[in-house]
Amino acid sequence: MQKEFIHIKSLQEYHRGVGLGGLKHPLMSVFQYENLEGVKVENQVKFTFDFYFISLKIDYNCKSQYGQTRYDFDEGLMGFTAPKQVHIIDENFVSPSQGWALLIHPDFLLSYPLATKIKDYGFFNYSVNEALILSETEEHEMLQLFVNINREYHLPIDTFSQDVLVSQLDLLLTLCNRYYKRQFITRKIPNSDLLSRVERILNESILNNTSSENGLISVAQLASQINISPQYLSDMLRQHTGQTAQQHIHDKVIERAKELLSATNLSVNEIAFQLGFEYAQSFSKLFKSKVGQRPLEFRKSFN
């Protein structure tokens, strides 16, 4: 059965769809889930927004996945959606009964540094199952920020209104970035399991020569095999190893290339193909950037 697709272009359209009142500003909105008309979905739906959607859900009666581990979300839970991202809601979806949501059109941030900064926050590209799980203290801080934003949103507009709202949004996102860094550290068991699976997959692909059949494994393919988003994978690896997922893959490739160059008589072309490169020049360029020598120069150092 084909999924219904909903494209919500404006904040006004969203407000009408969920039974909220009129907007105080056409490019920005804040509301409590308690004021929604209990949104339910009968069939699976694909949807996309033309604006940022930031949510804080409290006592959300659901189970979800963090990496490969399932959690009951009795803690505060935050989610982030960027414009044009496509999401899927299952037929058993029920909107949260408590919490807050912020809707921000990109035009609201124009002329502010946050318009660029917000695009650098990786968590806007995380999957739903990689939501930010708040501690009690963090939940309290987030609630206070939403209350402050809501209060400013409902004040009469003056020349400082937008500056204040953008600065509060900036603080909210900065704190969320801090909390995600904490989450990578405190959720050690699931993250350790993910790291082990990353190593196993890379070893199977690169060290056991399956790359020659399927091409060099990509970040998207690696993330797909462990059921997390590419951005979350890169951020997790950066936190634990200091490297992005792409850098991690490349290091594994170079490690294997050094072994083949020093211990076999395979040509550079044959090694490049075995490692999944379509062109030997691409392999040689990567090797030179990582090692400081071309592949043949490296091999000669062993003779």
pLDDT digits (tens, 9 = 90+) for 48-57: 899 999 999 8
Comparing CA positions, the residue from 28, 50, 18, 53 lying closest to residue 154 is 28
pLDDT digits (tens, 9 = 90+) for 110-142: 999 999 999 989 888 887 667 888 888 899 999
Pairing, β 45-49 against β 132-133:
unpaired
Q: What is the pLDDT of residue 224?
A: 86
Question: Are the CB atoms for 109 and 115 separated by under 8 Å?
Answer: yes
pLDDT of residue 1: 44
Residue ranges in the chain assigned as alpha helix (H): 11-18, 114-117, 136-153, 161-186, 188-202, 211-214, 219-225, 230-241, 245-263, 268-274, 280-291, 295-300
pLDDT (0 to 100) of residue 66: 38
Residue position matching structure tokens 């006592």: 59
Burial degree of 102 (CB within 10 A; 0-12, 13-18, 19+): buried
- Residue entry with tokens 């124009």: 110
Q: Which residues of the chain have pLDDT under 50?
A: 1, 62-74, 189
Domain 4-186 falls under CATH 2.60.120: yes
Query: Please, what sign has the CA dihedral across residues 171, 173, 174, 179?
Result: positive
Residue corresponding to tokens 């399991």: 193
- Tokens 């803690």, residue located: 75
Instruction: Please report, for residues 150, 210, 298, the alpha-carbon distance to residue 216 in angstroms, rounded to integers and kept in the order given.
Output: 49, 9, 22
Query: Distance between CA 276 and CA 124 in Å, rounded?
Result: 31
Average pLDDT, the chain: 83
Q: Which two tokens stand for residue 235?
A: 């951020």
The CA distance from 96 to 113, in Å, is 32
**Cα–Cα dist 156/50, whole Å:** 26
Query: Strands 4-8 and 87-89, how do they pair?
Result: unpaired
Residues sharing a CB contact under 8 Å with residue 140, sequence separation 6 or more, in sequence order: none
User: What's domain 189-300's architecture?
Assistant: Orthogonal Bundle (1.10)
Tokens of 22: 């009129």
Domain boundaries, the chain: 4-186, 189-300
Taking the C-alpha atoms of residue 128 and residue 218, their distance in angstroms, rounded to an integer, is: 22
Cβ contact 146:100 at 8 Å? yes
- Given this model, what pLDDT does residue 69 score? 41
Q: What is the CA radius of gyration of the chain?
A: 24
Q: CA-to-CA distance for 302 and 82, rounded, in angstroms?
A: 51
